[in-house]
């Protein structure tokens, strides 16, 4: 499934089914899985962009002239990492939850 983004590939590997297949079920076992995956995808992209900004600051030696810029970026990365882990836990919970199908 090379056409899927990393989050979709991860969910397909974990469940054996794509998000589209989950959504097409008459009684979806994880009705909130696509929404949770979208949140995880968004946070992952924001984290990647912020890490890239930090890398650019360091490569351009901006950290030597304005260290507060680097500190601020690191704090943002820390916050995004916490949010990312919460979103990842939410997806894990939805994947493992079998009660909606009962």
Tell me what pLDDT residue 76 has.
95
3-state secondary structure of 43: helix
Q: What is the pLDDT of residues 33-85, one digit of tens each?
A: 888 889 999 999 999 999 999 999 889 887 788 778 888 999 999 999 999 99
Cα–Cα distance between 40 and 67 in angstroms, integer? Answer: 30
Q: Which two tokens stand for residue 8?
A: 């979709």
Cα–Cα distance between 98 and 102 in angstroms, integer? Answer: 7
Ramachandran bin of 4, using left for φ above 0, alpha for ψ from -120 to 50, beta for the remaining angles: beta
Tell me what pLDDT residue 100 has.
54
Q: Answer whether 40's CB lies under 8 Å from 84's CB.
A: yes
On whether the pTM is more than 0.75, the answer is yes
């Amino acid at each position: 499934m090379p056409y899927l983004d990393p989050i979709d590939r991860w969910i397909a590997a974990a469940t054996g089914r794509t998000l589209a297949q989950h959504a097409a079920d008459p009684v979806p076992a994880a009705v909130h899985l696509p929404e949770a995956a979208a949140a995880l995808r968004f946070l992952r992209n924001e984290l990647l962009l912020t890490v890239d900004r930090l890398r650019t600051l360091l490569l351009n030696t901006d950290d030597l002239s304005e260290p507060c810029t680097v500190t601020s970026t690191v704090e943002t990365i820390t916050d995004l990492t916490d949010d990312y882990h919460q979103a990842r836990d939410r997806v894990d919970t939805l994947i493992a939850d079998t009660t909606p199908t009962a």
